[in-house]
Structure 1
Amino acid sequence: MMMVYRMAAAPGTLYLWVGLFNVPQPAMPVASTSSAPVNVSIHSPLRAIRDGIADNDQHPLNHRVVFKLTGLANDQDAEITIRSGTDLQTLRCRSLPAQVPWAMDGSFNILLCSCYSQPDDGTGLLSKIVSAPHLRPDLTLMMGDQIYGDLPLFEDLPTDTPGLARKLGRKYLNNWRPMQQGESGSGLSSVLSKAPSLCVADDHEYWNNYPYRQYQLPKTYTAKGRAQWRAVAQALYQDYQLIDPALPIDPEMDKVVFHNTALQVDPARPTLDVVHRLDIDPLKLLVVDLRSDRDPGYWQKDFPVSAPHAQPFDSLVSPKVMAEMRRWADDLLLAKQNRQPAFGLFSSGQAFLIPPAEEKDREKVDAEMANYRQFNEQIMPIFEQLAAADIPVVYITGDVHWGRLAQARQSGSSHTTLHEVISSPSFVIHVAATDSFKLIGNSVRRLFGQSDPWPRHPSVPQPPGKVGRLTLPQFDPEHGSGLRQRGDQIAMLSFRRAGAGIDFDVTYHAVTDNRKLPPQQYSQTFSLRVL
């Protein structure tokens, strides 16, 4: 089986991720096109996906290669043919637009998707919703929890690294596997085939509240277990969701997962440094993985920790990624200085307008970004600086299992400088113990005509009254500018040029077959202007 999905890049360029499944020693795929002046080259060579899945002769069965397309136009499709052995796929590709269109010419559309539990989507409902022809994104943001590597709870994970790789690898395989002609099944292939995508991880690519020990996950009790799980999860994240060969691909992991050689834990391991930058004039988009490189060194320590270089809740990203974030902000500030319109988009795996977890809960349940020193001392000041310069930013995320559109004003300002768009989950996880009680309670309420259409989903909270050191945000989540979406969902974020600025709106699409529920919820139109 072969699967192809497009990975987004700067206008004029595109990457094609090609997965070959259940094929030992596959023929090297060949990508070709007759669409001049498009050029096709190999960006990342054919290699085994590090999932430990092999045939009886220990030949890996699943492989991937990444092709790079250049010379693409944004107003005309190029036909690309990919062939490997008897497998053949033809797809039409076009570049991301160089700029946001004027309202009369359409819109620049971003599909938002996060938090997908494939085992719970038994009928392929997400695929049915996202395959609707009226959904026409230019770009898809996969904002974390593309798999739930830590479910089911209390799963008896293998102690050997190859066994762990096979267990986690099959979860990726189930989510990424290609759909056959006419097949309607669960997985993310329909989402990934909709438009060029960018992916970042959140905790469930690893385990809940990574990198911290979790009581419901016995493998996280020891430093050895955490290090092993982390190494395997990171390898699969790289193989399925990332494209850049400059990332530190560990050649020894092939030997570990396929031949059970000893896993070497390197305390000086390089950080992943996952950051994507796309400029669609006048939007400047930065997508940052704020999960994978948290508290380097801490994950390998047994509790309690006393080493000064491994303090808890200290850092989210490396200095290299912080430099990219500052460069993004500096570009926005420079554009304003030069009287050029420019607006910030920022996406990561956790919410921005949310209070920190309480001290007693931050290791046990879910720590927020605001629990980390680096967020408060280095990242928040970047957003405060942009707000002080009256440069609007739209922050895009998932994670929390509810959808919300909220705004914030910096203290003393008369207009909105920060918009947050949350879309989560695309299909919620099933937690047997707690969900059973919720469903029983809902059955009782149904007898009195008060049933809840989303009994397993949390209610949507109001944003906090204050975020950051200097800002005093003012929210109106209930009236006028706010919007809340409960239940399984995806969202479309649409941008249009308007005068010297940008107008945008959000459409939430319910992932449900309940005809009594509205299929969409529409926001008002918001205006981004640099004053």
Structure 2
Amino acid sequence: MTTRIIPGAVGSTSLRALVLSDESTPPALKLVDVRGAPCPPLTLKPHGSGDSRFDQHVLGAGVRLYVATASKLRPGADYQIGATHIRTLPARLPAAGLNLALASCYSNDFKRDADYLRVLQGAVGYAPLAAKLLVGDNVYLDVGPSVGSERSAFESTADLYLQHYWRSGYADVLSYLPTFTMWDDHEFWNNFPEHQIWLPRSMGRWHSIYRDAALAGIKAFQSVLNPAPVARQGLSYRFELPGLSVFALDLRAGRSMHDANPPVLCSEPELLAFERWAAALKGPGALIVGQPMWMGPGDWQDWNPPAFVAQYTRIWRALAAAPFDMVILTGDVHHSRLLEISVGPGRRVWELVSSPVCHIPTIEAIAARAFDHQGSGKIGFPLAISVPGVPLELLGFHMGTEVPNTLALLRLATSPEGLAVAGAFVDLVRKTPAQPAPPPNGCKVAAAATRSCQRDPMFVLRRRP
């Protein structure tokens, strides 16, 4: 009998985890304090996506899902569920800081799981890590041998998630460290929910079927790891790290078609919750989204947040009006970068993109169904963006890389000026800071920029004037 535990959202006094088991009855799990202190009970409840069309295939594969939760825990303490170690967050930011991993865009075709795990375990420093933030395209439902198979949408989607969370070496990566997740289009299909003529799943009657299957996969395996949603309509959520308040705004699962009237990125209750959170911050804030906010609107092949003008404007206005500086944590674009943006005198928004942790195959390889050639990205972004009512100015590019196997390691630490964020873009294969790449031609390079992809600090989040 096999049981796998995927740690999810962790706080200073609580934890949760997704439990997968091939036993016919609930596994006999208990929470153990590593130091032997008395331990609150562990609650274990059956879990599913809520869509029987999906859940039947998980059960048919001989796997049962559960959610494990515990509360009234000690801050900064070490616990175990079975053989899985989980440490609660400290109540305050330690003098040595708090370390995090930030990653997006993982293709399992190239089996980078051993490299990934070694980096998380401390091969490049920044150990121990408190959690990992997986901010989109964590699975590729529309890229790989299963595309176009004769299996149903629900069976093929469930099978891919089980490969990631149950059968492959990547499941060991997911089992290591607490995880917060966000998703983007490839959890559905490229440019979801738009029609893509080269993707039959996005057309005709298949559109709603594959949409429902993809959403079921997210609910069964990804969103279950996160804290409770901030609104009944949607999967956006918020959580607290020592020294940093975080809002994860889902701009994909609830996105409308671009030609809708009006087009939306998310539900109104989710956006209102984000605006209230930003306005009420008592310290620095971080916004997690699946796509960068500093980018062009795209087109019918790949619409981006700026193409949804009304809600995009509201997001930027909330970022600009917040009482503290903000950082946007995101991925998607197949290169990594750090930008410094002014939203008014003495008011900063930083955008940190980490992508891809393992690049998808090249377009040529996909067409030939030969999934053995990694693609590569190139740093690119607009030099100016206009948002009504927000004095946006790109102050400079600080660092970036085009390495196709990259994640960011971050350290949060207190400083006399605010919250200092140090870190590096790490080459997953070489286990070193990634080879730096230049910004687009004509882009202003920040005075503090370095030719390295590692810096301490990268930036400081301050109280605004």
Q: For the superposition of Structure 1 and Structure 2, which TM-score range results when normalised by the shorter chain?
A: 0.7 to 0.9
State the partner residue of 1:199. 181
Q: Secondary structure at the match of 2:247?
A: strand
Q: Secondary structure at the match of 1:208?
A: coil
Q: Secondary structure at the match of 1:475?
A: strand
State the partner residue of 1:259. none
RMSD: 3.2
> How many residue pairs get matched?
433
Q: Given the alignment, which residue of 157, 162, 171 partners 1:168? A: 157
State the partner residue of 1:253. none
Aligned-partner Cα distance in 2 for 1:238–1:37: 33
**Residues 200 and 274 of structure 1 are in contact (CA less than 8 Å); yes or no, is this contact kept in structure 2?**
no
Q: CA deviation at 1:500?
A: 5.6
Sequence identity percentage: 21
State the partner residue of 1:427. 358
Q: CA deviation at 1:204?
A: 0.5
**Residues 114 and 143 of structure 1 are in contact (CA less than 8 Å); yes or no, is this contact kept in structure 2?**
yes
Q: Given the alignment, which residue of 362, 385, 398 partners 1:466? A: 385
Distance 1:323 1:9, change over 3 A: farther
Q: Secondary structure at the match of 1:329?
A: helix
State the partner residue of 1:338. none
State the partner residue of 1:129. 119
State the partner residue of 1:115. 105
Q: Given the alignment, which residue of 215, 225, 249 partners 2:197? A: 215
1:529 lines up with 2:454 in the alignment: no
Aligned-partner Cα distance in 2 for 1:94–1:153: 38
Q: Secondary structure at the match of 1:352?
A: coil
For 1:344-387, what per-residue CA distance to the aligned partner results, in whole angstroms no more than 9, with x for missing partners? 11101010111211xxxx22x2111111134234222211222x
Distance 1:320 1:38, change over 3 A: farther
Normalised by the length of structure 1, the TM-score is 0.74
**Residues 296 and 304 of structure 2 are in contact (CA less than 8 Å); yes or no, is this contact kept in structure 1?**
yes
Aligned-partner Cα distance in 2 for 1:521–1:491: 10
Distance 1:42 1:154, change over 3 A: closer
**Residues 396 and 421 of structure 1 are in contact (CA less than 8 Å); yes or no, is this contact kept in structure 2?**
yes
For 1:331-356, what per-residue CA distance to the aligned partner results, in whole angstroms no more than 9, with x for missing partners? 21xx3xxxxxx111110101011121
Aligned partner of 1:473: which letter?
A: L
State the partner residue of 1:140. 132
1:325 lines up with 2:274 in the alignment: yes
Q: Given the alignment, which residue of 299, 303, 327 partners 1:367? A: 303
State the partner residue of 1:400. 333
Q: CA deviation at 1:37?
A: 4.4
Aligned-partner Cα distance in 2 for 1:496–1:476: 24
**Residues 295 and 381 of structure 2 are in contact (CA less than 8 Å); yes or no, is this contact kept in structure 1?**
no
For 1:99-118, what per-residue CA distance to the aligned partner results, in whole angstroms no more than 9, with x for missing partners? 322xxx21112211110010
State the partner residue of 2:376. 457
Aligned-partner Cα distance in 2 for 1:356–1:378: 16
Q: CA deviation at 1:403?
A: 0.1
Distance 1:271 1:77, change over 3 A: closer
**Residues 403 and 423 of structure 1 are in contact (CA less than 8 Å); yes or no, is this contact kept in structure 2?**
yes
**Residues 144 and 366 of structure 2 are in contact (CA less than 8 Å); yes or no, is this contact kept in structure 1?**
no
State the partner residue of 1:30. 28
Aligned partner of 2:177: which letter?
A: A
State the partner residue of 1:276. 237
1:382 lines up with 2:318 in the alignment: yes
Distance 1:46 1:366, change over 3 A: closer
For 1:420-471, what per-residue CA distance to the aligned partner results, in whole angstroms no more than 9, with x for missing partners? 110000000112427999xxxxxxxxxxxxxxxx993122125532242233
Distance 1:37 1:327, change over 3 A: farther
**Residues 343 and 393 of structure 1 are in contact (CA less than 8 Å); yes or no, is this contact kept in structure 2?**
yes
Aligned-partner Cα distance in 2 for 1:401–1:201: 15
Aligned-partner Cα distance in 2 for 1:504–1:115: 23
State the partner residue of 1:152. 144
Aligned-partner Cα distance in 1 for 2:434–2:275: 43
State the partner residue of 2:251. 290
In the alignment, structure 2 segments of 5+ residues that lack a partner are 437-451
State the partner residue of 1:252. none
Q: CA deviation at 1:201?
A: 1.2
Q: Given the alignment, which residue of 399, 404, 415 partners 1:483? A: 399
Q: Secondary structure at the match of 1:126?
A: helix
Aligned-partner Cα distance in 1 for 2:335–2:407: 10
Aligned-partner Cα distance in 2 for 1:39–1:154: 43
Aligned-partner Cα distance in 2 for 1:278–1:514: 30
Distance 1:509 1:467, change over 3 A: farther
Aligned partner of 2:11: which letter?
A: A
Aligned-partner Cα distance in 2 for 1:244–1:141: 11
Q: Secondary structure at the match of 1:138?
A: strand
Aligned-partner Cα distance in 1 for 2:222–2:153: 19
Aligned partner of 2:193: which letter?
A: P
**Residues 316 and 390 of structure 2 are in contact (CA less than 8 Å); yes or no, is this contact kept in structure 1?**
no
Distance 1:225 1:178, change over 3 A: closer
**Residues 44 and 243 of structure 1 are in contact (CA less than 8 Å); yes or no, is this contact kept in structure 2?**
no
Q: CA deviation at 1:11?
A: 2.1
Q: Given the alignment, which residue of 54, 57, 60 partners 1:53? A: 57
Distance 1:282 1:124, change over 3 A: closer
> Within 5 A, what are the aligned runs for 1:90-101?
90-101=83-94
Distance 1:472 1:381, change over 3 A: closer
Aligned-partner Cα distance in 2 for 1:515–1:494: 16
For 1:151-172, what per-residue CA distance to the aligned partner results, in whole angstroms no more than 9, with x for missing partners? 13993244xxx72222122221
Q: Secondary structure at the match of 2:75?
A: coil
**Residues 3 and 27 of structure 2 are in contact (CA less than 8 Å); yes or no, is this contact kept in structure 1?**
no
Distance 1:370 1:43, change over 3 A: farther
Q: Given the alignment, which residue of 346, 354, 357 partners 2:287? A: 346
In the alignment, structure 1 segments of 5+ residues that lack a partner are 82-89, 180-184, 249-269, 300-304, 336-341, 438-453
Greater C-alpha Rg:
1
Aligned partner of 2:213: which letter?
A: V
Aligned partner of 1:373: which letter?
A: V
**Residues 7 and 225 of structure 2 are in contact (CA less than 8 Å); yes or no, is this contact kept in structure 1?**
no
1:311 lines up with 2:261 in the alignment: yes
Aligned partner of 1:13: which letter?
A: S
**Residues 284 and 343 of structure 1 are in contact (CA less than 8 Å); yes or no, is this contact kept in structure 2?**
yes
Aligned partner of 2:89: which letter?
A: L
Normalised by the length of structure 2, the TM-score is 0.83
Q: Secondary structure at the match of 1:177?
A: helix
**Residues 178 and 189 of structure 1 are in contact (CA less than 8 Å); yes or no, is this contact kept in structure 2?**
no
State the partner residue of 2:449. none
Aligned-partner Cα distance in 1 for 2:17–2:130: 15
1:240 lines up with 2:221 in the alignment: yes
Q: CA deviation at 1:226?
A: 0.7
**Residues 15 and 68 of structure 1 are in contact (CA less than 8 Å); yes or no, is this contact kept in structure 2?**
yes
For 1:298-319, what per-residue CA distance to the aligned partner results, in whole angstroms no more than 9, with x for missing partners? 59xxxxx7xxxx437x111112
Aligned partner of 1:5: which letter?
A: I
For 1:60-93, what per-residue CA distance to the aligned partner results, in whole angstroms no more than 9, with x for missing partners? 5122101111122233312333xxxxxxxx2332
State the partner residue of 1:75. 76
